[in-house]
Amino acid sequence: MYVAVKGGESAIENAHAWLAEERRGDKSVAELSIAQIREQLSLAVNRVMSEGSLYDADLAALAIKQARGDLIEAIFLIRAYRTTLPRFGTSEPVKTGEMSCDRRVSATFKDVPGGQVLGPTFDYTHRLLDFKLAAEGETPDAPAREAGPGDVPHVAEFLGREGLIEEAPRDEAAPPDLTREPLEMPAGRALRLQALTRADEGFTLGLAYSTQRGYARNHAFVGELRIGAVPVEMEIPELGFAVEIGEVVLTECETVNQFTGSKTEPPQFTRGYGLVFGQTERKAISMALVDRALRWQELGEDNEGAPAQDAEFVLYHADNIQATGFLEHIKLPHYVDFQSELELVRKLRREVADNRTREAKE
């Protein structure tokens, strides 16, 4: 006997209760604090802040805890929270040239004013599991030295003085805000960069990698990668001048890419640009490569039909919150549509069978 399923409500509540229990895990193991996540899983926190488009390490850590370490779920929590916040206004453009750099490397020059600063990087670690960490030993303090003066000039400026790299003139137009306006094509560079900085790290990495393997290859060098804190200033209308309202850590990557020039333009390097919240250098480099690939039209390059050149393809599929929602919605009931397909397939099969019988008789 069929009884229409009732009680969806209590099933949902019970599922939530079980989820909460699983999130906590074995209660004989100490619970993680938000501060522990913020301090010891800081790269996860950075990713959640950058793709969540909200610079708040404590909230990102809370989201990671609530999401059981599922970073896309954590990003979703942050986005859903962010959308409820009022927008007060726009900050002044941050001056990354004045960044107090924790890390700053250039792959195009052996040395540059401001120096090469490795900073806290995995780059030259040997990827050997450190079993000492499992024994909960304390980490010795790293040697310290006086911070260098801020104001480290961008490497691209040196190339710019000789006209060797395309100019990047300051654009005074207010950039659009894709969290307040629908993303419509064609999208200008400011809008593309905005979409890329919150794009899924894995998707951006895959696209960037595809350009390196020949799908719209653009010969990128990391002209400069820098990570550090910059002050954020905002003009307060009542005051009439800009005041510092806080500080954010950013990763900035500027790539130097080949460009053959044209009949009117002498050969010149071109740029790709990545700027991401927190220490997120894989993402920032990926972003710069994809940005450069998307600029094929304005630089007079051929459309090779490569995925990374296709702004609609890239921008409409780069957001992991949109992607995961739509992907996972196929778990929802679809039996009404499936029923209509069932009826259709049965009807078509019946007709084929009837035709066969008729032909056999003839």
For another protein, the closer of residues 82 and 219 by Cβ is 82
Cβ pair 250, 230 in contact under 8 A: yes
Contacts with another protein: how many residues (CB under 8 A)? Answer: 50
Contact between 19 and another protein per CB under 8 A = no
Q: Which is nearer to another protein, 11 or 43 (CB)?
A: 11
DSSP state string for 229-250: EEEEEEEETTTTEEEEEEEEEE
Which position among 33, 36, 83, 303 is part of the footprint of another protein (CB under 8 A)?
A: 83
Minimum distance of another protein from residue 342's CB (angstroms)? 7
Q: Any residues with CB less than 8 A from the CB of 294 and at least 6 apart, and which?
A: 189, 192, 308, 309, 311, 314
Q: Does 122 bind another protein (CB under 8 A)?
A: no
The yes or no reply on residue 337 touching another protein (CB under 8 A) is yes
183 makes contact with another protein (CB under 8 A): yes
Question: Closer CB to another protein, residue 130 or residue 343?
Answer: 343
Taking a C-beta distance cutoff of 8 angstroms, is the pair 37, 45 a contact?
Answer: yes
> Stretches 83-91, 106-114, 223-231, 256-264: which one binds another protein (CB under 8 A)?
83-91
Binders in 312-331 for another protein, by CB under 8 A: 312, 316, 321-322, 324-329
Q: How many CB atoms lie within 10 A of CB 228?
A: 23
Is 357 a binding residue for another protein by CB under 8 A? The answer is no
Q: Looking at 29, 185, 239, 360, which residue binds another protein (CB under 8 A)?
A: 185
H helices of the chain, where?
A: 8-24, 34-40, 42-52, 57-66, 71-82, 131-134, 155-161, 189-197, 201-212, 281-294, 311-317, 320-328, 335-361
Contact 272, 221 (CB under 8 A): no
For residue 321, how far is the Cα from the chain centroid?
11
Task: Decide: is 12 part of the binding site for another protein (CB under 8 A).
Answer: yes
- Does residue 20 bind another protein (CB under 8 A)? no
**Cα(85)–Cα(82) distance, integer angstroms:** 5
* Helix/strand/coil for 199: coil
Nearest approach in angstroms of CB 171 to another protein is 22
76 binds another protein (CB under 8 A): yes
Helix pair angle (281-294, 189-197), 10° resolution: 150
Angle (CA) 135-141-145 rounded to 5° is 160
Structure tokens belonging to residue 287: 């972003």
Q: Where are the alpha helices (DSSP H) in 53-178?
A: 57-66, 71-82, 131-134, 155-161
Cβ-Cβ contacts under 8 Å for 121 (sequence gap 6 or more): 103
CB 257 → another protein: shortest distance, Å?
A: 26
Q: Please, what is the minimum distance in Å from the beta carbon of residue 56 to another protein?
A: 16
Q: Is 186 in the site for another protein (CB under 8 A)?
A: yes
Q: Mask of contacts with another protein, 263-302, x by CB under 8 A?
A: ----------------------------------------
Indicate whether 79 belongs to the interface with another protein (CB under 8 A).
yes
Angle at which helix 57-66 crosses helix 42-52, to 10 degrees, equals: 100
Does position 124 interact with another protein (CB under 8 A)? The reply is no
Residue number, 181 or 238, with CB nearest to another protein? 181
Q: Which residues bind another protein (CB under 8 A)?
A: 1-2, 4-9, 11-12, 76, 79-80, 82-84, 86, 179-186, 312, 316, 321-322, 324-329, 332-337, 339-344, 347-348, 351
